[in-house]
Amino acid sequence: MLCSSMCLCLGQLVWKLMWDLTPDNNIIYLIGGFGIYFIGGILMIFSYRNGEYSVLQPISSMSYVFATIIAFFILKEPIPPLKITGICLIITGVIFIGRSR
pLDDT in tens, 41-59: 999 999 999 988 888 888 8
Phi-psi region of 79 (alpha: psi -120 to 50; beta: other; left: phi over 0): beta
One-letter amino acid at 61 equals S
Instruction: Evaluate whether 96 touches 61 at the Cβ level (below 8 Å).
Output: no
Could you read off the pLDDT of 19-28 as tens digits, one per residue? 776 667 778 8
Percent residues over pLDDT 70 in the chain? 95
Are 40 and 5 spatial neighbours (Cβ–Cβ below 8 Å)? yes
Eight-state DSSP code of residue 51: S
